[in-house]
Every structure is written in C-alpha cells, then in structure tokens.
Amino acid sequence: MKKGREIQQVASNLMSFFVKRLSLILLAGVMVIFVGGKFDVASASQPNAESEIESLAVCYALGTDAIGSGNLQEGINTYQKCFTPDAKITAIFPNGAQATFIGAVNWANFVSSVFQGNGYTATQHLLGSFNIDINNNTATMSSYLHATHKLSDTSIDVANGTYVDKVVNQNGKWKIKERVLTLIDFLNLSSPASPDAEVSSAARSSNSVSNTLSDDSNNSKKPHRPHVPGYM
C-alpha cells in the first residue's frame, strides 16, 4: 500500500511539473504572438504614414500648377485637400522679404496674383529629397523645390528652394498645418537670339551695336526676380 501511494505521489508530481512547463510554454507563445503583432502593426503603419505625408507635397504642387495654368478654382480645391483650414503659409524670398497668409484660399489668391503679375502661362513644380519625422499624430517634413515658370516659348523663370512643413493627423487624415517656403534663387533662362535678329543687329552702325551689346551684357548679368508687390 505504502509503495502504491509513493508511486501515485511521484506520478502527481510529474503531472504537476509538466502542466506548469506547458503553461509557461503557452504563455510565452501568446506573448510572442501579441508583441510580434504589435511590432508588425507599427512597422506597417509607419511607411503608410510617410507615404500619406509625402503625398501632401505632391498635392500642393498639383494645386500650384493648376493656378499656373490659369485655373484658380481648381488650385483652391486642391489646396484645401492639402492644408488644415487654419494653415499658416509663409514664403521667404531671396532678398529676405516674407509673405505670410492664413488658409488655402488666401494663399491661392496670392500665388495667382504673383503668377499673373509676372505673365506666366504655365508652371511645373518638381519636388525631391523628402525628409519626414513622425511623432504620433504630428510630423515634420522638408523637401527641395525646383520650379519652372513659363514666360514664353523662349523664356522661363527657374526657382529653387526648400519647403519645411508641420503636419498633423486630424480624423485619420494627414494635412499640412504650417508651411515655410524659402527660395534661394529665382533666375531667368532664355534662348539665344535668332539668326535673323543677329543679322538685323549687325546691319546697324558700329557705335549703336556696341552700345546695344554692352546694355544686353549688363542686363544678362542681372538675376531675374519676380515682381511681388509689397515684398520685392
């Protein structure tokens, strides 16, 4: 009898040992699945957020080019997809002057006035070198700008600069809350004079030609700047 009880006790101890080990293994498995799942969600959501934020810069470029083609309303409609209603938008020009506006509509009207004032018939904004830093529901983004503004078939203005944005996630959608554009230059590029123009110029008196060439040479050295009333 005593020996039988000892056997039962050993069997009970072994069963308890295996149950505890099995419980630990199951708990470890659940923790791995749970923690691993959290990491998977984070790693999946981060690239999605970066892509959505980067698309805001593309949204802005499309809106600006709509205005550049003469369609102000389309530009406003597109801007409103990119910005919060109270967005603060600032442009810093090469001479240091600044222009700041609140809201997409006010900014669109300003852009339109600058484009029309300079006589642009079309624009194309190219963006690159994106740098995005996400912190929960806020983010910062910087990007480089290379923009072409068409004056005629033989003349364009080219601008280069940097956008720096503060972005927020509102109701599941990322939008730009603050944008600062810093232009580092704004230069005019034109095609050389046609052969007919050169022949006509050569037919003038030598003194007149000399003066004209001197004036043209001086003018070509002056960088083009857009006319922005009240700023530059």
Q: Tell me, what's the pLDDT at 176?
A: 98
Asked if CATH classification 2.60.40.420 holds for the domain at 38-221, the reply, yes or no, is no
Q: Tell me, what's the pLDDT at 210?
A: 47
Q: Tell me, what's the pLDDT at 182?
A: 98
* pLDDT above 90 as % of the chain: 59
Q: Are 163 and 126 in contact (CB under 8 A)?
A: no
Q: Tell me, what's the pLDDT at 197?
A: 46
Q: Please report, for the chain, the start and end positions of each structural domain, with discontinuous segments joined by +.
A: 38-221
Q: Tell me, what's the pLDDT at 188?
A: 87
Q: What is the mean pLDDT of the chain?
A: 79
> pTM of the prediction?
0.69
> What are the tokens at 216?
């043209």
Convert the pLDDT of each residue in 28-41 to its tens digit.
Answer: 554 434 444 443 33
Select from 148, 141, 218 the least CA-distant residue to 187: 148
Q: Tell me, what's the pLDDT at 36?
A: 46
Neighbours of 121 (CB within 10 A): 13
Q: Tell me, what's the pLDDT at 228?
A: 75
Select from 83, 160, 158 the least CA-distant residue to 127: 160
Q: Tell me, what's the pLDDT at 97?
A: 92
Low-confidence ranges of the chain (pLDDT < 50): 30-44, 197-220, 223
